[in-house]
Amino acid sequence: MAKNTNPNTHEANVFKAKCPDCDAELEIPADTEIGEIVSCSGCGLELEVKAVKDGCVDLQELTIEGEDWGE
């Protein structure tokens, strides 16, 4: 048996996520909660945390609401 059973011993508190816009790989603190807003380090886009599961984070681009009143 290998003596090291956990390959990520000193990075256990970071999740990986991918920016939906520019595909940059982002590191999200493991204590991030659903609904929090993070900024992409690649393109600066603001992203909302939609789900956290199995060490992966789903991000969705923030949409601006209330800008479409009447035509």
Q: Which residues contact Zn ion (rule: CB under 5 A)?
A: 19, 21-22, 24, 40, 42-43, 45
- Distance in Å, CB of 20 to Zn ion, minimum: 8
12-49 core/surface letters (b: 16 or more CB in 10 A; e: else): eeebebbbeeeeeebebeeebeeeeebebeeeebebeb
Which residue, 40 or 49, has its beta carbon nearer to Zn ion? 40
Locate 34 and state its tokens: 């659903």
- Distance in Å, CB of 17 to Zn ion, minimum: 10
- Distance in Å, CB of 19 to Zn ion, minimum: 3
